[in-house]
Amino acid sequence: MSFFDSKGNKIDLSTEIARGAEGAVFNIQGNNEIVAKVYLKDIPTDKTKKLFLMPGMVTKELLAISSWPIEVLFDSTSGRLRGILMHRMKGREIHDLYGPASRKQLFPTADWRFLILAARNLAAAIDTIHSYGHVIGDLNQKGVLITNNGLVKLIDCDSFQIQYDNKNFLCDVGVPDFTPPELQDNPFQGIVRTQNHDNFGLAVLCFQLLFLGRHPFVGRYHAHGEYSGPNRPLNPIEIGHPIRSKSAGYSGANQATHLRS
Ligand SMILES: Nc1ncnc2c1ncn2[C@@H]1O[C@H](COP(=O)(O)OP(=O)(O)O)[C@@H](O)[C@H]1O
Ligand SMILES: [Mg+2]
């Protein structure tokens, strides 16, 4: 598969590395430092605009902590936008570090200090993104990579909410576990995300790093009868409900909700 970048250079893709819901990521021939993400479906107009803008907004600081897009890729025949180029990111997904079983295997020397370092670096990386007026939006356990020396690399940057010329190019995805109460159950389309929304996901990830991968809102139901959310019965307890009702098993609110850690 071949594409052209914005300067007309031909980019030849080689093997596929991985794929997500939106795109497949490939090695490219002749440059081991760069990878290509090719979208699986047609790219909506707003996202196309965002992808055209992002390479021009790149800074050294952003590249140090993220796989910020550095080029766009066009189809050689139709001339349509098909993907982006970005730096290859090394590291393992953050859940490999906070999950005790995978941590033992994949981060065998990680101690308490390392976990705190990772949490600190995650907060700093998110702060860097925020300092430009951008929001991560879809902060989740697969979009944060941790290197062997505890550095944080954010991937899937094309889904970030980007601020350009006082206009926000939105992020229309999210994962319930890292979504604050006020956004639970609402479609993400059309919603302007705030930095404070990211802070909720950051707090969850920090908690998971420090508490063996446990989510702060999981808990066991300790009252009689079946557990039910306000709108529907929930069994087993689905994470959206305790977040929505702000009933962390670890908080004082568990008296009212009968959820215990
Ligand atoms: N810059 C990168 N360097 C190396 N691997 C990457 C990079 N970006 C993405 N990947 C791999 O590709 C997968 C899918 O990429 P992602 O951007 O999350 O796709 P999607 O938007 O479809 O979810 C990631 O989980 C990761 O394994
Ligand atoms: Mg994505």
- The CATH number for 126's domain is 1.10.510.10
Q: Same structural domain for residues 197 and 149?
A: yes
* pLDDT confidence bin for 234, thresholds 50/70/90: very low
* pLDDT confidence bin for 253, thresholds 50/70/90: low
pLDDT > 90: percent of the chain: 80
Cα(21) to ligand 2 centroid in Å equals: 7
Q: Same structural domain for residues 130 and 180?
A: yes
Cα(19) to ligand 1 centroid in Å equals: 6
Global pTM reads 0.92
End residue of a domain, out of 50, 72, 87? 87
Kindly state the average pLDDT of the residues 31-36: 98
| Cα-based angle 255, 184, 94 (whole degrees, multiple of 5) | 90
State both tokens at 95: 């859940």
For residue 237, pLDDT beyond 60: no
Lowest-confidence segment of 10-24, 152-166, 224-238 by average pLDDT: 224-238
Count of C-beta atoms within a 10 Å radius of residue 52: 13
Count of C-beta atoms within a 10 Å radius of residue 145: 20
Q: Same structural domain for residues 111 and 132?
A: yes
Kindly state the average pLDDT of the residues 174-193: 94
Which element (helix H / strand E) includes 134? none
Q: Same structural domain for residues 134 and 229?
A: no
* pLDDT confidence bin for 30, thresholds 50/70/90: very high
Going by their DSSP bridges, the two strands 220-221 and 259-260 should be labelled as antiparallel
Q: Which of 37, 47, 93 to mutate to test the pocket of ligand 1 (most atoms within 8 A of CB)?
A: 37
**What is the average pLDDT score of the chain?**
91
For residue 230, pLDDT beyond 70: no
Ligand 1, atom 19: closest residue by C-alpha: 20
Provide the domain limits for residue 180: 92-210
For residue 61, pLDDT beyond 80: yes
Q: Same structural domain for residues 78 and 115?
A: no
* pLDDT confidence bin for 239, thresholds 50/70/90: confident
Cα distance between residue 153 and residue 129, in whole Å: 12
pLDDT tens per residue, range 83-142: 999 999 999 999 999 999 999 999 999 999 999 999 999 999 999 999 999 999 999 999
Residue 233: predicted pLDDT:
45
Residue 222: predicted pLDDT:
60
Q: Same structural domain for residues 158 and 190?
A: yes
End residue of a domain, out of 33, 60, 87? 87
Cα(14) to ligand 2 centroid in Å equals: 21
State both tokens at 198: 């990211």
End residue of a domain, out of 39, 62, 87? 87
Q: Same structural domain for residues 97 and 205?
A: yes
State both tokens at 155: 């991937």
Kindly state the average pLDDT of the residues 155-165: 97
Q: Same structural domain for residues 32 and 109?
A: no
Kindly state the average pLDDT of the residues 23-40: 98
> How far is the first Cα of the chain from the last one, in angstroms, to the nearest whole number?
50
CA distances from 187 to 29, 133, 180, 184, 190 (A): 39, 22, 13, 8, 8
Cα distance between residue 48 and residue 93, in whole Å: 27
Which element (helix H / strand E) includes 23? strand 23-28
Higher-confidence residue of 219 and 218: namely 218
Nearest alpha-carbon partner for 54 in 32, 80, 81: 81
Residue 235: predicted pLDDT:
44
Of the listed ligands, the closest to the CA of 154 is 1
Residue 41: predicted pLDDT:
96
Q: Same structural domain for residues 127 and 56?
A: no
For the chain, the domain total comes to 3
Enumerate residues lining ligand 1, CB below 6 A: 17-23, 25, 35, 37, 67, 86, 88-89, 142, 155-156, 159
R_g of the chain, CA atoms, integer Å: 20
Catalytic residues, by residue number, are 138
CATH assignment of the domain containing 78:
3.30.200.20
pLDDT tens per residue, range 188-211: 999 999 999 999 999 999 999 999
The number of the ligand 1 atom at minimal distance from the alpha carbon of 40 is 22
Q: Same structural domain for residues 123 and 200?
A: yes
Ligand 1, atom 12: closest residue by C-alpha: 18
For residue 259, pLDDT beyond 80: no
Q: Same structural domain for residues 74 and 97?
A: no
Q: Same structural domain for residues 51 and 19?
A: yes
